[in-house]
């Protein structure tokens, strides 16, 4: 199943992907910690898309495709920029200078997600992240999670 979302390239709208993922995740067998990790990663990806990709031009949208079933959520974030030389970067390293003010976004996505990849497609640049729930039995309130789990 699929949800699509697009919003203008302004920090003001970064709360929107967050609430969509939190709400969607509440219907799937993810823990709150897992949802927070995914949500934070998506906010990092969207921040990069609107800052580096779309250069903060309001009219250029950040676009999200959210594909999911009870076993995974896969999110692809598209911007209209050139991208960057991602092959040459080691995502697994945080800045060693702890006082450095930037440069943690990709490292956070890499740490929090089960899969992370970048690619170009039809003039867009994209980052795709996948999150898999550790346990399909959600602690406490698995009611709706069960409902969707029965579907497939």
Partner 1 sequence: MKIKERERDGVVILEVSGKIMGGPDSELFTNTLKTLVHQGKKRVVVDLGGVSWVNSTGLGILISGYSTLKRSNGEMKLVNVSDRIDSIFMVTKLYSVFDSYKSEDEAIASFAVE
Where do contacts with partner 1 occur on this chain (CB under 8 A)?
10-12, 14-15, 18, 32-33, 36-37, 39-40, 43-44, 47, 51, 94, 98-105, 107-108, 111-112, 141, 143-144, 147
Q: CB count, 10 Å around CB of 123?
A: 9
* Residues ≥6 apart with Cβ < 8 Å to 135: 29, 31
**3-state SS assignment for residue 11:** helix
Nearest-angstrom CA–CA distance, 73 and 66: 7
Please identify, among the stretches 5-13, 40-48, 97-105, 126-134, the one whose residues bind its own copies according to the rule CB under 8 A.
5-13
Positions touching ligand ADP (CB under 6 A) are 44, 48-49, 52-53, 79, 81, 83-84, 102-106, 125
Positions touching its own copies (CB under 8 A) are 1-8, 12-13, 15-16, 18-20, 22-24, 26-27, 58, 61, 144, 147-148
């Amino acid at each position: 199943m699929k949800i699509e979302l697009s919003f203008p390239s302004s920090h003001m709208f970064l709360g929107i992907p967050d609430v969509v993922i939190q709400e969607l995740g509440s219907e799937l067998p993810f823990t709150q910690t897992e949802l927070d990790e995914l949500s934070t990663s998506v906010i990092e990806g969207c921040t990069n898309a609107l800052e580096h990709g779309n250069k903060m031009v309001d009219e250029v949208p950040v676009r999200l495709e959210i594909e999911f079933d009870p076993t995974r959520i896969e999110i692809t974030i598209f911007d209209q920029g050139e991208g960057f030389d991602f092959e040459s970067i080691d995502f697994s390293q945080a800045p060693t200078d702890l006082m450095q003010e930037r440069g943690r976004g990709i490292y956070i996505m890499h740490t929090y997600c089960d899969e992370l990849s970048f690619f170009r497609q039809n003039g867009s640049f994209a980052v795709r992240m996948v999150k898999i729930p550790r346990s399909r039995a959600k602690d406490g309130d698995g009611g709706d999670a069960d409902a969707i789990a029965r579907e497939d």
